[in-house]
Chain A
Amino acid sequence: MKQQIIVSGIGGQGVLFLTRVIAQVAVNQGIPVLTSETHGMAQRGGTVLSTIKIGDFASPLIRTGQADLGLLLWEENFPVHQSILQENGTWIINSPHNSDHISIDAAKIARNLGNAVLLNLVLLGTALKQGALIFTAEECETAIKQLAPKKFVEQNLTAFHKGLNS
C-alpha cells in the first residue's frame, strides 16, 4: 500500500498540522511514512508545500508527475504545484468556484465555525468523503484527537465532519 500526497497552501493556513495528522494516521496503522515540510521565512504568509509518502519509501520528496493526491488550501498555488501530480491524480481544492477538480468552499465553512484555520480539516474530511485517502474517517479522528491541543479537539473534529458530510 503506497500513496504520495502533497499539501499546498500559504504560511499560517495550517498546512503543517494537516500534514502531521495524515502522517500520524499512517504511524498508528504501523505503515512507514515520510513527510517533508516548509519551515522558515516562507511560513510568513508565503507559499508552503508539504509532501507525504506513505508506504515503503526512502525519501520524503516527490518527483514531478508522481503524486496521487493534492490537497490545495490556497487556490492560487495550483499553477505552482500542479506538475507534481500524476495526470490522473486527484485534486481537492479549497475554492468558492467550481472547476474540473473537486472543490469545496472550505474557507467559508471554517469561517462559519468561527476560525478560518479550520479549513485544513474541512478539506481532509472532503478528501475522505471522496475516497481519496487510503484511511478511514475513524482513523483520522483518532489522529486529530492525538495531535490537536485539548481545547480545540472538538472544534477540529467538527470541521473534519463538516468536510466529511459536505
Chain B
Amino acid sequence: MKNKIQLLMGNEAIGQGLIEAGCQVAAAYPGTPSTEILQAVIDRREKAAEPLHLEWSVNEKIAFEVALAASYTGKRSVAVMKQVGLNVAADPFMRTAYIGVKGGMLTIVADDPGPHSSQNEQDTRLFCLQARVPVIDPASPAEAKELIRPAFELSEKYETNIVLRPTTRICHSRQNVSIAKPITLERQANFELDTPRWSATPAFLPALHKKLNANLEKISFEPDWQPRLTSGDNSQPRTALVASGIVYSNLVDLLEELNLNNKIDLYQVLMPYPLNPDFSKNLHEKYDRILILEETYPVIELQLAHPGAVGKQNGAVPREGELTPDVTHQALAAFLDLAPPEEKPEERRGQRPSLCPGCSHRSAFYSIKKCFPKGIYPSDIGCYTLGMNLGAVHTVHCMGACISQGAGFYQAYQQDAGDFPTIVVTIGDSTFFHAGIPALINAVIQQARIIVVILDNATTAMTGGQPVPHMGIAAGNVPTKAVAIEPLVKAAGVEFLEVCNPYENDKFEDLLKNADEYIRSPQGGVAVLIARHGCIMDPAVRKVQDSFLVTIKDNCIACLICVDKFECPALSMDKDKNLAVVNQDRCIGCGTCIPVCPVDAIIKEEK
C-alpha cells in the first residue's frame, strides 16, 4: 500500500476496517449518516484479500438477513444502516440476539444526534439494551476503524451479533488514519445444520435466552472492552467524569483547553452495553459525584444508577440534541463549579435547503399543487421531502408511510357523507421499492381512492445516487436484472397507470386531472402516475438535456410566484429594481420556470 496514513472520513475508515478484517458479505440500505460506509467498501473492493459480496439491499431488514445467513456459513459479514433503518430491521435483529451467529457479524448502525438528517434522534445503544445486543461506541474515526477487527473476534468468540454505533460526528469527520493489509481467513462457506438453533421454536427459546444472558455477563468482563481510565491527580477527590462516543473526545479537548487534563478521573466507556457490574460497583465505592456525558439517551446512566450521578436524568445535561463542545462546556462548568462559559449568542438559522435548480420534483409538485389546491399531500423520505417548501408536502413520517397514510386519510374522509379531498401521495422510486409495495397492495385491496405519484428519478438521490432496482445496476456499477416499476404496479391491482415527464407540465397536469376523474368514478380506486425524469445531479442526465440561457424581462410584475411558489434557488428578487432575477451561477437553464410566470416575463434563448 502506498500511503500508510490516509485522510479518511469516518465512514471510509469503517469501510477500510471491514476490508482489513476479512469481511466477505456486506449489505446496506443507504441513509445519512451511514451511506458512505458501504460505498467505501465498494471503492476498495479490489484491495480485499478474498471474495467479497456487496449489495445495496432493497431495505434494511433484507440487508440484515442477507448478512445474517452469510454469517451462518462461518464467514464474516456486516449489515449497515442508519438508526431508523434498525427499526425496519428490528424483527430479525431482535431474534438474532437469541439465536446468535457463526462467522463474525457486525451491524453498523449510524445514529444522528441533533438530528441533522433524520426523522428522530433515537439512540441505538438503548435499542441494543432492549434487544440484549452488545454495542460499541467509538470516539473518533480512527478508533471506529481500529475496533472493527476485535469486534469481529468478539462476535465469533460468543457467536453473537455485535453493533458498532458511530454517530454523525464520527461518520462525517475526517482524520488521519493508518491503513493495514487485509487479513486472509480462508473460510469456505459451511452451513452446519442445527435446526433446534437456526429454526428455534418456543420450546428451545428458554435455553437460548439463558445462554444469551450468560454470554452477556461474560462479555461485560472482556478485558479489551472495559472502560478506560485516565487518572486525575486527586485534586478533585471522589469525583469522576464518564463519557462515551464523540462526547468523550469533546471532553478531552475541553479539559485540555481549561488546563484540567489529568486533574480529574476520566473514564471512556467503549462498550455502553453490557456494562461490567464491577465497573459500576467501583464507581459507587470510589466516587461521590460523577458527571455522565453520552449521546443521546441516558444508557450508561441508567445502568450505573449511581446516587451521585449528574446527567440527563436530573436534567443537568440536556436530554435532547447533540452534546456539542459548547454544551459539554456548560455541563462541566456547572459540575465543577467553574466560571460558566460566555452566553452563546442566539443561534441564527442559515439558508434552508431546497430542491436543486432544475429538479424535476419541483415541476411535479408545482403541478400537483396547481391542480388540487385543496388536496392532502402525504409524502415521504428523500430529497422530495423538500416539496414542503412549495406547500406540496403535508406529512412526512417514515419510509413508505405515505401510501398507507394516504389510504388512511381516504378511509377517514369517505365515511363522512359528501365529498372527499383529492389525496395525492408522492413517493420516490427507491422508497417505493423499500417499503411502498406492500402499502400499495393494501391501498388497492382496501379500495382507497387516492392518487399515488411515484417520483422516479432513477436513483437514490438524497444519499448521493445509489442504484435502484429498476435500473439494472447493482453496487459498484455491476450490471444486473432490472425490476421495472410498471409491472409491479399493475400486479398490485392498479388499473390506472400513466407515465409522464413532469417537465412537460401541461401533459402532466392533464394526467393528474384524469387520475382525479378516475378515482372519483364508480369503478375507481388507486391511480398511479409515474413522474419520470432523471436526477439533475447525475451528469449523464444533464448531458442529454437541453440547456437554455434563461432571463427575466422588465415586464415582470414582481408577483413572486417563481421565487416563492416555484422556489427555484436560482431565482430571487432584485429588491432595488423590484424584478425577479436569475442567478446565472446557479441556473442550469432547464426552462421549467417559464410556464409558471403569469405574464411570460421569463424567457429562454438557445445557449
Contacts and interface: CB of A to CB of B under 8 A. Distances in A.
Interface residues of A, number: 47
Interface string A14-57: 00000110011011001011111111111111110000000001
B564 to A, nearest CB: 15
Interface in A57-100: 57-66, 74, 76-77, 79-83
A41 B33 contact: no
A47 B351 contact: yes
Contact of A59 (B325, B342, B348, B385): B325
Given A44-B355, A63-B254, A33 B116 contact: no
Contact of B325 (A10, A45, A62): A62
Contacts, number: 139
Contacts of B385: 41
Contacts of A60: 169, 173-175, 249
Given A63-B326, A111-B585, A34 B7 contact: no
Given A47-B350, A77-B351, A23 B174 contact: yes
Contact of A35 (B173, B348, B353): B173
Contacts of B342: 64-65
Contact of B176 (A19, A20, A33): A33
A65 to B, nearest CB: 7
Contacts of B249: 58-60
A40 B462 contact: yes
Given A20-B7, A58-B252, A76-B351, A41 B329 contact: no
B386 interface: yes
B3 to A, nearest CB: 9
Contact of A27 (B176, B257, B352, B354): B176
22 contacts: A19-B174, A33-B7, A33-B176, A36-B173, A37-B9, A38-B172, A39-B32, A39-B172, A40-B32, A41-B386, A42-B116, A43-B353, A44-B353, A58-B253, A59-B169, A60-B169, A60-B175, A61-B250, A63-B329, A79-B348, A82-B345, A116-B586
Interface of B: 5-7, 9, 32-33, 36, 116-117, 139-140, 169, 172-176, 246, 248-250, 252-254, 257, 324-326, 329, 341-342, 344-345, 347-356, 383, 385-386, 462-463, 569, 585-586
Given A23-B7, A58-B249, A60-B173, 19 more contacts: A27-B176, A33-B7, A34-B140, A35-B173, A36-B169, A37-B172, A37-B173, A42-B353, A45-B356, A45-B569, A46-B350, A47-B350, A58-B139, A58-B252, A61-B169, A63-B326, A64-B342, A77-B351, A80-B349
Interface of A: 10-12, 19-20, 23-24, 26-27, 30, 32-47, 57-66, 74, 76-77, 79-83, 107, 111, 116
